[in-house]
Amino acid sequence: MEPVANLTRKEQVIRKAAELFREKGYAASSMRDLAQKLGIEAASLYSHIKSKEEILQSLCFDMATEFRKSLDEVERQKGPASEKLRRGIVGHIQVMAKDLTASAVFMNEHRHMSQPFLREFLLLRINYINRFKDIIEEGINSGEFKDSIDKKLAVMTLFSSLNWMPQWYDPHSNIVPIDLGQKLADMLVNGMKR
Amino acid sequence: MEPVANLTRKEQVIRKAAELFREKGYAASSMRDLAQKLGIEAASLYSHIKSKEEILQSLCFDMATEFRKSLDEVERQKGPASEKLRRGIVGHIQVMAKDLTASAVFMNEHRHMSQPFLREFLLLRINYINRFKDIIEEGINSGEFKDSIDKKLAVMTLFSSLNWMPQWYDPHSNIVPIDLGQKLADMLVNGMKR
DNA sequence: CCTACCGATCGGTAGG
DNA sequence: CCTACCGATCGGTAGG
């Protein structure tokens, strides 16, 4: 019997680690801290995970997969570039909102991965960003967006705004993630339109 | 005789530390790493600085002072809120551009300060953000900005975009900081205007 | 700025 | 999941 809503012990370890890494940063988090949060001894962690870095890797690559899937879905649909961009933004926000803790780790701690994992991770991220850049370019070519906009600047501003969100968004606030995504998309996409 | 264009040894230590903290993060940077960059023994660092954290504190608080001074200057001038906001943005970017390394440390490593320094730092930062929020509010009240905009969201988006800049801006690129600031201000302020 | 060194803590293993 | 432990590394001090 596999767990359904419940988490395996390994998943519990990873989840608690994500909270710890988010709070203190990866390098400042010790395996003894993590063990204490779980109420076990540090050495016992290693029956569930291979290493501290393995936890970071699984957090980062799982998030990367979610982001990719969300954008796949957006690209499958037809419509003007501005609409695609809006849906891409809303999707990105929703993926983050599903796990703000992992998102914060993904964003701020990925650099602590060793090679070749870091390299692979950065390639995934560049690819994802380029797909957004392509949508912006499509919008410029179709005349939806001003041709005066600086694509690199636009896409960097976009991701800055999106990626900082786990740092200030309060999941208990009265604004729900999908509305937040819509509002963010309004602010960011409208600035590009003719 | 005091150094003029030259740096004191202490300033050299702090500068090299900033580079190291930016590259590897504060927690993952050892005093032995830093000593090596300077070509001395780790123990010798302590004739120039009191502790590892003192370096972080001086980086963070010096940047905070620069940001505050820039905003003081902006508030001293008259003009519509949109113009103030633009100048605030350009000023912020210019302060960062003057020292991208220290800016990156300021942004990403401040949380490693201990109390009461961290608390004091966060108060300065809240205060700075609130002054931008006031400018936005002024623009809404005067009718320059849409009254539908969410002040908190707007100011968070603004700072996200600004603060991520040290991570992607290439100082050797053909776009100079003041132009970058102008373009960023265009994108961000125009989205708020009626 | 150096040599010599400290106690504390780190990630991880052996063996149950 | 535990006890017992490892070698490596940490920030920092004493004394010159």
Q: What is the 8-class DSSP label of residue B136? A: H
A190 and B191 within 8 Å at the Cβ level: the answer is: yes
* Domains in chain B: ranges and CATH: 52-190 (1.10.357.10)
> Which nucleotide in the DNA or RNA is closest to residue A52, CA to C1'?
C11
| Closest C-alpha to A63, from A18, A4, A16 | A18
A112 and B25 within 8 Å at the Cβ level: the answer is: yes
The burial of A74, by beta-carbon neighbours within 10 Å (0-12 exposed, 13-18 middle, 19 or more buried), is given as buried
Q: Is-contact A79 A29, C-beta < 8 A?
A: no
**pLDDT tens, residue by residue, A99-118:** 999 999 999 999 999 999 99
Distance from CA of A41 to the nearest CA of B (A): 23
Instruction: State whether residue B14 is helix, strand or coil.
Output: helix
| Reported pTM | 0.94
Alpha helices in chain A (DSSP H): 9-24, 31-38, 52-76, 81-98, 100-109, 117-141, 151-168, 177-190
Chain A residues close to B136, C-beta within 8 Å: none
List the structure tokens of B8.
Answer: 């004191």
Say what percent of chain A tops pLDDT 90: 89
**pLDDT tens, residue by residue, B1-25:** 444 568 999 999 999 999 999 999 9
Round to a whole number and report the distance in Å from the CA of B35 to the C1' of D7. Answer: 23
List the structure tokens of A62.
Answer: 């799982």
B156 and A164 within 8 Å at the Cβ level: the answer is: yes
Look at A182-186, B36-40, B108-112 and tell me which has the smallest mean pLDDT: A182-186
> Which nucleotide in the DNA or RNA is closest to residue B55, CA to C1'?
D11
